[in-house]
């Protein structure tokens, strides 16, 4: 099981990422995670993040702010790989499909390494 840590935003780009991550999770063996509860100081969620296996964890962010990746770093987890999606100005089927393709390509590359 691969852990896919996504940013926790709701900008149009982040919503595209969320929708694409859901679609990818429908087909592949991966678990979608946000670091928000851990950043909020919830003990159980902090432990969950700290216990993530870095070799099975990747971060995908919707912008260069990289709050998914930075959130992981805050708990000492360096993911196997990270991806920043191009900026999507609006949520549309086309943009979600493009993001989905990029995430799938990224996961394929990560798994080949």
Partner 1 sequence: MRKGVIVCGANGERSVILEKAVEQFAKKNQSRVVQFSACSIGVSPLMLSMSGVDMARLVTVNGCRNRCADRILEHNALKADRYCVLDDALQREVGGCKATCSFDFPHINDEEVKRFVAIMTKALD
How far, in Å, CA of 95 to CA of 49, rounded?
Answer: 29
Which CB, 29 or 108, lies closer to partner 1? Answer: 29
Footprint of partner 1 (CB under 8 A):
1, 3, 7-11, 14-15, 18-19, 22, 25-26, 29-37, 39-42, 48, 65, 67-68, 70-71, 74, 91
Shortest separation between residue 14's beta carbon and partner 1, angstroms: 7
Shortest separation between residue 86's beta carbon and partner 1, angstroms: 18
Shortest separation between residue 50's beta carbon and partner 1, angstroms: 13
Shortest separation between residue 41's beta carbon and partner 1, angstroms: 6
Which CB, 32 or 97, lies closer to partner 1? Answer: 32
Count of C-beta atoms within a 10 Å radius of residue 14 = 22
Encoding tokens for residue 55? 């070799």
Helices 93-112 and 12-27 cross at an angle (nearest 10°) of: 60
Q: Is 36 exposed, middle or buried (0-12, 13-18, 19+ CB in 10 A)?
A: middle
Residue with tokens 């990270």: 82
């Amino acid at each position: 099981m691969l852990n896919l840590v996504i940013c926790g935003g709701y900008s149009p780009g982040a919503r595209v990422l969320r929708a694409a991550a859901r679609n990818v999770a429908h087909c592949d063996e991966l678990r979608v995670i946000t670091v928000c509860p851990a950043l909020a100081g919830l003990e159980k969620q902090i432990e969950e993040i700290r216990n993530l296996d870095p070799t099975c964890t990747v971060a995908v962010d919707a912008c260069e702010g990289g709050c998914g990746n930075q959130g992981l770093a805050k708990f000492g987890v360096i993911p196997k790989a990270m991806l920043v999606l191009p900026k999507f100005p609006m949520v549309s089927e086309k943009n979600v499909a493009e993001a989905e393709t990029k995430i799938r390509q990224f996961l394929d590359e990560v798994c080949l390494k």
